[in-house]
Structure 1
């Protein structure tokens, strides 16, 4: 085995590990849907029209508030372990779901802030500085992926290769681009929290799913970025390898 073969095998192993994270990220979302009954596609129908009409704007505001709060809190509160972020978000989801839609809406920006702080902490794990504006944009980009309640066929991976398109963009314009997609995911979460009787349980379960999901996606996002910088391989090439890895298990299951 040549010296050049070892680095290639190493990066292939990293890609395989990241593909495994991606595959496993959404599995708990299916358990949430089983708990509350129904499918992700009809969850939004449970929200009243006035809530659906304000959802995208509310998500945009939540992202803006989350970015400011997350950045300001980094100098005061250290990054937490993934399990602690998940536990905190789970508790908030239970509280948000206990009072129906009003408390769920009030809890939304707090949950987004916790999610963003968790993503920033993972960026730091891979050697990136979350206070760097470029890295801050990368952290926001993680929210561009579908939420855990959506079935993902691997087509929704453009966020992994989005660095070229977002570098240099103003943060508010990036938030405006992310908000419509995130609002769908957050709307599903809010709808789950309003399920009669199960509100608190569904709120805890959905927040657990969302925190687990976005932390896994952050590992994939920054893992690929770090691998690209270490190996010198283009990011798009690594994303293509990841897609190939993700397709292989499906072939074996069919």
Structure 2
């Protein structure tokens, strides 16, 4: 056994409760459900009204946002206010709301200008949450794990609109939190090694391109749900602010769950926590 690997321990009842709460967020509480409650109508109906050009707009906005996110993760994420232990969730939500108000007042297609701002706010908030769960943000891997949060959570309802398949049949069907983490594990590792050696001189390097493509695929689906809500004419500035607040709140919840699981893995061992998580998923508890 590697000296850095903690011994396998049995999860305590308190740890199991934390894991169960994290699983509920990561497997069941998607943005579409929250927006449906806010709007008062199924978000899937709004998704079907998006123009065909929406996919191109979303792709461009997500690509730009993730490039900014990668810059932030590599160069400065977690360096600000390094002594702060309590996440500043509300202040980030307020700023995201102000950003969304502009988008809502001008229509959902302003996502190209507004999304990079929201993404930076999300990542700063995620970094606060990561730090509060004991992550060492002086290291590159935990900072890239903050970027990874954008790809986690339940399969977005937008998969049906973008892919033309049902959520169950499409290749973007919800394969679960652990499966996404496993799929992204090599990408995070390769990107960490590459950036540590070369920095961001060559952004077209395969490890970086593959990482951002994998994150962008799922993040773009969530963004399309947000865009569908903001495109509704009656939403306006106030509704746009609320949608953006829900948007950042969604990723704050995902981050809390994700970094809680990472903390439990450090405390009890990765294999033990993953096996307990699988049992919770199978049992539906």
Q: Normalising to structure 1: TM-score of the pair?
A: 0.79
- Cα separation, 2, equivalents of 1:53 and 1:163: 24
- Cα separation, 1, equivalents of 2:81 and 2:51: 37
2:17 is aligned, of 13, 20, 40, to 13
1:221 pairs with 2:258 = yes
State the SS of the aligned residue for 2:211. Answer: helix
2:53 is aligned, of 46, 50, 53, to 50
Is contact 1:19-1:242 (8 Å) kept? yes
The structural deviation recorded for 1:218 is 1.0
Q: Alpha carbons of 1:69 and 1:136: their partners in 2 closer, same or farther (altered >3 Å)?
A: closer
Question: For structure 2, which runs of at least 5 residues remain unmatched after alignment?
Answer: 1-7, 159-166, 168-172, 192-206
How many pairs are equivalent?
244
The structural deviation recorded for 1:63 is 1.0
Counterpart for residue 248 of structure 2: 211
The structural deviation recorded for 1:137 is 2.0
Q: Alpha carbons of 1:231 and 1:46: their partners in 2 closer, same or farther (altered >3 Å)?
A: same
- Cα separation, 2, equivalents of 1:124 and 1:73: 11
CA RMSD of aligned residues (A): 3.2
State the SS of the aligned residue for 1:227. Answer: helix
- Cα separation, 2, equivalents of 1:108 and 1:185: 12
Q: Alpha carbons of 1:146 and 1:201: their partners in 2 closer, same or farther (altered >3 Å)?
A: farther
Counterpart for residue 107 of structure 1: 114
- Bigger helix fraction: 1
Structure 1 residues 61-72: aligned runs within 5 Å: 61-69=64-72, 71-72=75-76
Counterpart for residue 198 of structure 2: none
- Cα separation, 2, equivalents of 1:18 and 1:119: 15
1:171 pairs with 2:208 = yes
